[in-house]
Amino acid sequence: MTTKTRPGNGKREQADLDVVVVGAGFAGLYLLHRLRGMGYTAKIFESADDVGGTWYWNRYPGARCDIQSIDYSYSFDADLEAEWQWSEKYATQPEILRYIQHVADKFDLRRDIEFSTRVETAVWDEKASVWRLRTSQGDTVSCRFYVMATGCLSAPKTLDIAGADRFRGATYSTSHWPHDEVDFTGLRVAVIGTGSSGIQSIPLIAEQAAQLTVFQRTPNFSVPARNGPIPARKLSDFEAGREAFREAARWSLAGVTVPISDKGAMQVSDEERQARYERIWEAGDLIEAVTIFNDIVANPESNATFAEFVRNKIRAKVNDSDVAETLCPYDFPIGTKRLCLDSHYYETYNLPHVRLVDLRKTPITTITETGIDSSDESFEFDAIVFATGFDAMTGAIVAVNIAGREGVQLSDKWADGPKTYLGLMTAGFPNLFMITGPGSPSVLSNMMVSIEQHVDWICDGLEHLRHKSLDMIEPTETAEAGWVQYVNDFGAITLFPQANSWYMGANVPGKPRVFLPYVGGVDVYRTICNEVVDNDYLGFRCSGPGGSRVNDGIVRPVQPDVTILMQIIESLGFPPINEMSVADARTFDESMATERPPGPEVGEIVDGVLTGAAGELAYRLYRPASPGPHPIVAYFHGGGWVLGGRDSDDPACRELCAQSDAIVISCDYRHAPENRFPAAADDGYAAVQWIAENAAALDGIPRQLAVAGWSAGGNIAAVVCQLARDAGGPEINAQLLITPVTDSDLSRDSYVDNADGYVLTADLMRWCWNHYADPADWQNPKAAPLRADNLANLPPALVVTCEFDPLRDEGVAYAEAMAAAGVPVRHLPCRGQIHTSIMAVDMVISSAAARAEMANWLRQGFRASVAA
């Protein structure tokens, strides 16, 4: 191997090559082309004897793409785009392979590819700052940068069926199909597996075989591909402006431009819902299918409507109702395993020589010399086809023995699931890149768009290093941990974790159950990757002759759905509340309450009037559906003592009532600035006294009373507890303080760190305080309960704080101070939440668990007080 001049090399040891790429599929080929263009010495090692990757190996009958070919093709070269015409909507494997071969020829790529050569080990040499690789040919090679373009679906799953090697007939695997034509004519054939590969191949195998028996463990959802000519609309859009077409795909949700509904499935009438599903059934496009409503993979109720629609289609297509029912999936939400696209799959089961065996009822006991034994039958076959899937996303990467800094094996580092930064790199393994690695959109997108984006990002990164005379890049542990958390958080607000899918690693025995891809969308992901670069490679440490630096940090510390909420609020373009008049601020606040989800049903809601400190005050009572009497929670709304009311916190009160099984009484209190300090606190205390006195009349349980409040309402709740203690009653069992105002010190770290950008700003809090109280009163414990001399003998408290909230630190301080004074205190810190998201019922899924915990804490507290 010759050493050429390496750009930005400085004085470190020369490597044989600047870059080694593993894999000659779509990813490796484009990367090689780009690297050459940038003047790097580069080589691909590929275990197959030609280019193609997926499309080299998966030659089974019926193999086609499931993203339309116009979309599923390279966009980087205008000539290539102009000269290649796809023959149909979903091209076959041979056509896609021809396309890849054409690309290899056009850009003369084969001369830098070593075929039939597997990379077996890769070791980071810390001293020399190079990777040293060993191949199946026994060669060693060193390189500065090492890229795994090894594919998400290239490592077949190890066969886990007893007796698989006993069979004396022919066996085939869809993922390693022979190059010579396989003829099943006149044969008795078994197919095991009904994922995309099985569903594509079964109808074609049935055309030839004398008998076909399909062994199904889990049925899948499939919609008709409706293959044929390229849809005229798509073609004309493409021809009208290729670059605009591609750019739109790059900034789309899944790498394909389809209209994305702004409605959830339950927000339209049943008639409209069915009509849209019918349209999808006719369209033959899997991205359109899962975006027909915006909550198909997030809302179980919406999901169930689509799943039942598809099941009804299956029932209509398959003549035998038992067979149809066996083909109907029930045990995972639709879309949480890759939706299949088929051509006459379900109809195949109407053929007299095709039989479906339900492995849930009669599992395979063993493969024998002549066939397959199930728990109640022996089958004889001439051929068995395994369509049993892949060790997806991580399999091909950890199959190489990769040792990073201090000899740490990647397979050990990833033993509990892969850890990456952006799905591109992993800490402790400098200069090692992955294309479409775990933690990137990859398999949830049109892979061509994701592949090109990763290749471009890596190449831009290498250029950046060269420009700065650096030659080492590696993510920091903090950045990586933050990304892993963010990817998991995104998965957790969807239905994906409910499926035993290969997305979850659930198909491979012993593989850790972790949601592997990033589900936030190609567009959001691209924004994040660009942001990392724009912030001077946030989360990376780089070094080389040009120096060394660490730019530590987390790129998305806020919960994903909270970020979406913040973006929606920002997009509305309202001026800051603290720049509005009080009247305008109240009108705005009320208008915000009209568009949101209503919250859950409760048994009864009654508006009434109670006696406040200076006259009557309105209240709203929420009664659980269960038979009474119930404990009572006196609740105080948020709004900085100036805004808010019964309506503003209505969904949260409904939910608190439904989940705690307590009566919730949302009490008004006089607002500032018309009624300044201590009006709100005095009203709060008077309201609690009134509720305690009238508990029985309200069908509540006397002396089963808690106070709760959010924000300024949390302040009132905390103050009421102190007043009740000092005045000898009423007896309060518990205080739930949700992101409460407890102090008037606006200089704490959380005020500084979260001053702006998280809806509740430091300026807005200042506005609230100024309206509420004269500076002389800011220290008064009736305004700032943290300032009280005595915090002992208060009711047990649950203090909820949000990470990105100016009020976070004073909430923590109040929890700590009460605990120090001997009060039983639980502190619930909410990671990635902001002040407003914690109460956004049915809008922010990630805060729902915290609210459920609050309700549960109240419920337990009431139970404990009864026992005492």
Select the binding partner of residue 389 from ligand NAP, ligand FAD, none (C-beta < 5 to 8 A, by kind): ligand NAP
Q: Does 844 bind ligand FAD (CB under 6 A)?
A: no
Q: For ligand FAD, what does the binding mask look like between residues 56 and 85, x meaning CB under 6 A? A: x-x----x-xxx----x-------------
Select the binding partner of residue 25 from ligand NAP, ligand FAD, none (C-beta < 5 to 8 A, by kind): ligand FAD
Cα 452 from chain centroid? Answer: 22
Q: Which residues make Cβ contacts (< 8 Å) with residue 470, sequence separation at least 6?
A: 8, 464, 542, 543, 544, 545, 546, 547, 548
Considering only residues 257 through 316, tell me which ones interact with ligand FAD, judged by CB under 6 A.
Answer: none
Select the binding partner of residue 764 from ligand FAD, ligand NAP, none (C-beta < 5 to 8 A, by kind): none
| Helix axes 650-660 and 848-867, enclosed angle (nearest 10) | 50
Select the binding partner of residue 655 from ligand FAD, ligand NAP, none (C-beta < 5 to 8 A, by kind): none
* Count of residues touching ligand NAP (by CB under 6 A): 27
Select the binding partner of residue 326 from ligand FAD, ligand NAP, none (C-beta < 5 to 8 A, by kind): none
Is residue 797 within 8 Å of residue 812, measured between CB atoms?
Answer: no
Select the binding partner of residue 53 from ligand NAP, ligand FAD, none (C-beta < 5 to 8 A, by kind): ligand FAD
Select the binding partner of residue 398 from ligand FAD, ligand NAP, none (C-beta < 5 to 8 A, by kind): none
- H-type alpha helices, 375-521: 395-398, 410-413, 447-467, 477-492
Select the binding partner of residue 388 from ligand NAP, ligand FAD, none (C-beta < 5 to 8 A, by kind): ligand NAP
Q: Does 438 bind ligand FAD (CB under 6 A)?
A: no
Of the residues 61, 151, 195, 517, which one makes contact with ligand NAP according to CB under 6 A: 195
SS3 category, 192: strand
Q: Does 371 bind ligand NAP (CB under 6 A)?
A: no
User: Cα dihedral sign for 601, 604, 605, 610?
Assistant: negative
> Measured between alpha carbons, how far is 783 from 771 in angstroms, rounded to an integer?
12
Select the binding partner of residue 218 from ligand FAD, ligand NAP, none (C-beta < 5 to 8 A, by kind): ligand NAP
Stretch that binds ligand FAD, among 22-30, 74-82, 515-523, 529-537 (CB under 6 A): 22-30
For the CB of residue 462, give the shortest distance to ligand FAD in the complex, in Å.
19
> Measured between alpha carbons, how far is 862 from 662 in angstroms, rounded to an integer?
9
Judge residue 467's burial from the number of C-beta atoms within 10 Å of its C-beta, 0-12 exposed, 13-18 middle, 19 or more buried.
exposed
> Measured between alpha carbons, how far is 749 from 414 in angstroms, rounded to an integer?
35
Of the residues 280, 341, 667, 691, which one makes contact with ligand NAP according to CB under 6 A: 341
Select the binding partner of residue 150 from ligand NAP, ligand FAD, none (C-beta < 5 to 8 A, by kind): ligand FAD
* Count of residues touching ligand FAD (by CB under 6 A): 36
Q: Does 192 bind ligand NAP (CB under 6 A)?
A: yes
Q: Which is nearer to ligand NAP, 154 or 431 (CB)?
A: 154
Considering only residues 441 through 480, tell me which ones interact with ligand FAD, judged by CB under 6 A.
Answer: 446-447, 451
Cα 266 from chain centroid? Answer: 22
Select the binding partner of residue 359 from ligand FAD, ligand NAP, none (C-beta < 5 to 8 A, by kind): ligand NAP
Strands 383-386 vs 170-173: parallel, antiparallel or unpaired: parallel
Strands 547-551 vs 540-544: parallel, antiparallel or unpaired: antiparallel
Q: Mark 812-829 as b/e (b = at least 16 C-beta within 10 Å).
A: bbbbebbbeeebebbbbe
Q: Does 190 bind ligand NAP (CB under 6 A)?
A: no
Count of C-beta atoms within a 10 Å radius of residue 41? 22
Of the residues 133, 314, 372, 396, which one makes contact with ligand FAD according to CB under 6 A: 396
Q: Which is nearer to ligand FAD, 454 or 541 (CB)?
A: 454
Residue 246, H or E segment: helix 242-250
- Tell me which residue of 846, 855, 189 sits closest to 558, measured CA to CA: 846
- Tell me which residue of 712, 691, 587 sits closest to 637, measured CA to CA: 712
Stretch that binds ligand NAP, among 95-103, 203-211, 252-260, 384-392 (CB under 6 A): 384-392
For the CB of residue 173, give the shortest distance to ligand NAP in the complex, in Å.
9
Considering only residues 138 through 197, tell me which ones interact with ligand FAD, judged by CB under 6 A.
Answer: 149-154, 197
Of the residues 47, 194, 722, 780, which one makes contact with ligand FAD according to CB under 6 A: 47
For the CB of residue 105, give the shortest distance to ligand NAP in the complex, in Å.
24
- Residue carrying the six token digits 């690789």: 133
Q: Which is nearer to ligand NAP, 424 or 504 (CB)?
A: 504
Q: Which is nearer to ligand FAD, 87 or 790 (CB)?
A: 87
Q: Which is nearer to ligand FAD, 98 or 748 (CB)?
A: 98
Strands (DSSP E) found in 491-648: 540-544, 547-551, 604-612, 615-623, 630-636
> Measured between alpha carbons, how far is 384 from 205 in angstroms, rounded to an integer?
11
Q: Which is nearer to ligand FAD, 517 or 624 (CB)?
A: 517
Considering only residues 146 through 165, tell me which ones interact with ligand NAP, judged by CB under 6 A.
Answer: 153, 160-161
Residue 309: C-alpha distances to residues 215, 221, 273, 285, 291 (Å):
25, 11, 10, 16, 15
For the CB of residue 159, give the shortest distance to ligand NAP in the complex, in Å.
7
Q: Does 196 bind ligand NAP (CB under 6 A)?
A: yes
- Tell me which residue of 309, 360, 343 sits closest to 90, measured CA to CA: 343
Is residue 450 within 8 Å of residue 440, measured between CB atoms?
Answer: yes
State residue 825 phi and psi, 5-degree precision. Answer: -125, 135
Considering only residues 351 through 370, tell me which ones interact with ligand NAP, judged by CB under 6 A.
Answer: 359
> Measured between alpha carbons, how far is 112 from 814 in angstroms, rounded to an integer?
66
Stretch that binds ligand NAP, among 6-14, 62-70, 553-561, 845-853 (CB under 6 A): 62-70
Residue 405: C-alpha distances to residues 22, 123, 125, 135, 426 (Å):
20, 9, 8, 21, 11
- Tell me which residue of 218, 172, 209, 189 sits closest to 363, measured CA to CA: 218
Q: Does 200 bind ligand NAP (CB under 6 A)?
A: yes
Of the residues 217, 317, 464, 787, which one makes contact with ligand NAP according to CB under 6 A: 217
> Measured between alpha carbons, how far is 852 from 798 in angstroms, rounded to an integer?
13
In the DSSP assignment, the letter for residue 576 is: P
How many residues are listed for the chain in this entry?
868
Q: Does 329 bind ligand NAP (CB under 6 A)?
A: no
Q: Does 739 bind ligand FAD (CB under 6 A)?
A: no
Q: Does 801 bind ligand FAD (CB under 6 A)?
A: no
Q: Does 98 bind ligand FAD (CB under 6 A)?
A: no
- H-type alpha helices, 69-129: 78-83, 93-106
Please give the single-letter amino acid code of residue 700. G
Is residue 767 within 8 Å of residue 741, measured between CB atoms?
Answer: no
Q: Which is nearer to ligand FAD, 118 or 703 (CB)?
A: 118
> Measured between alpha carbons, how far is 389 from 198 in angstroms, rounded to an integer?
9
Of the residues 97, 103, 265, 387, which one makes contact with ligand NAP according to CB under 6 A: 387
Of the residues 276, 338, 419, 586, which one makes contact with ligand NAP according to CB under 6 A: 338
> Measured between alpha carbons, how far is 644 from 589 in angstroms, rounded to an integer?
7
Closest residue by beta carbon to ligand NAP:
195
For the CB of residue 302, give the shortest distance to ligand NAP in the complex, in Å.
22
For the CB of residue 683, give the shortest distance to ligand NAP in the complex, in Å.
60
Q: For ligand NAP, what does the binding mask look like between residues 498 and 537, x meaning CB under 6 A? A: ----x----x------------------------------
Residues that bind ligand FAD (CB under 6 A): 22-28, 45-48, 53-54, 56, 58, 63, 65-67, 72, 118-119, 149-154, 197, 396, 400, 435-436, 446-447, 451
Residues that bind ligand NAP (CB under 6 A): 64-66, 153, 160-161, 174, 192-198, 200, 217-218, 338, 341, 359, 387-390, 443, 502, 507
